[in-house]
Structure 1
Amino acid sequence: MTKNKLLRMDNVGIVVESLNDAISFFEEIGLKLEGRGTIEGEWAGRVTGLGSQHVEVAMMVTPDGHSRIELSKFITPATVSDHRTAPVNTLGYLRAMFTVEDIDEMVNRLTKNGAQLVGEIVQYENSYRLCYIRGAEGILIGLAEELSSK
């Protein structure tokens, strides 16, 4: 019997309160809005286990077209918990990591738009400069600048 093989990862989902703010944040990083719409009905709830639901979604895509973030704003049912400001060692916590050309420029631009640097920009050996930043909706992202390619 052959083992079923993984083909690809399609997207990572993030539930947000303000779809517009989250879209703007990811556009500032460099993702593009690929599409926006509404998902509703009992069929969708069968997938999520939430029953009948009404969700506004926006799909953001990276410049290379290979990675996506699906932003979801639940209209019904209402969200039941909020761990946006939980520390990064919280069980089940999510962060996405992005490689950028110039980490200093990106951090400066994002902080001017209200994002907050979580710790500091650090260098890992001669390979990367890295940081965590909290943007719109308290969304945690990682930024990495490759040093070996310079």
Structure 2
Amino acid sequence: MVLPRLEHVGIVVGDLEAAKAFFAELGLEVAGEMSVEGRAVDRITGLGGVRSDMVMLRTPDGHGKLELIRYRAPSSPGGDPEAPSNAPGLRHILFEVSDVEGVLARLRPHGGQLVGELVEYENSFKLCYVRGPEGIIVELAERIG
């Protein structure tokens, strides 16, 4: 098999602690934290003088991983934390939850804001987009059918 699995999704953030708290409140668990720098990291990223801090989070079932990365150097050109959900690029990640209203209430103190509305979709899921730290869009799905 050429592609045995998806290992993780990486997201670059400016405030690593805020992003970590948001995803921990969602239910992800910290699997590890580290800082990296050096020639090998520069070569991998195509950047010079990289110094970064990373947190690896995993879903409770252990199958999904999310890597949050804060670059201390080099400086970033920045992004658009208000980018609409149809802007080109990696735009959202989806997590299935058991109580979407409860999750929304827990995420609000961590900056979580609905992008649109919470909708019952075809009697199968309650779905919504939530914008969190750094403008990251998370889709929440509660199975109802």
TM-score range, shorter chain: over 0.9
Q: Which runs of 4+ in 1 moved over 4 A?
A: none
The alignment's TM-score, normalised by the length of structure 1, stands at 0.91
CA-atom RMSD, angstroms? 1.2
Deviation at 1:104, TM superposition (A): 1.0
Segments of structure 1 that go 5 or more residues without pairing to the other structure are none
SS in 2 for 1:123: strand
Deviation at 1:139, TM superposition (A): 1.6
Q: C-alpha separation between the residues in 1 aligned to 2:78 and 2:70?
A: 13
Equivalenced residue count is: 145
Which residue of 8, 32, 41 maps to 1:35?
32
Q: C-alpha separation between the residues in 1 aligned to 2:4 and 2:43?
A: 24
Q: C-alpha separation between the residues in 2 aligned to 1:131 and 1:97?
A: 10
Name 2:6's counterpart in structure 1.
Answer: 9
Q: Which has the larger radius of gyration?
A: 1
Which residue of 50, 54, 61 maps to 1:53?
50
Name 2:89's counterpart in structure 1.
Answer: 92
Indicate yes or no: 2:135 matched with 1:138. yes
Name 1:68's counterpart in structure 2.
Answer: 65
Contact 1:128 1:145 in 2 (8 A): yes
1:70-102, CA deviations, whole angstroms, 9 ceiling, x for partnerless residues? 000001111112122111111114311000001
Which residue of 78, 82, 87 maps to 2:79?
82
RCO higher in structure (CA 8 A, sep ≥6): 2
SS in 2 for 1:108: helix
State the identity %. Answer: 43
SS in 2 for 1:63: coil
1:89-129, CA deviations, whole angstroms, 9 ceiling, x for partnerless residues? 11114311000001111112212433111100011111111
Indicate yes or no: 2:16 matched with 1:25. no
SS in 1 for 2:5: coil
Segments of structure 2 that go 5 or more residues without pairing to the other structure are none
The alignment's TM-score, normalised by the length of structure 2, stands at 0.94
Contact 1:111 1:117 in 2 (8 A): no
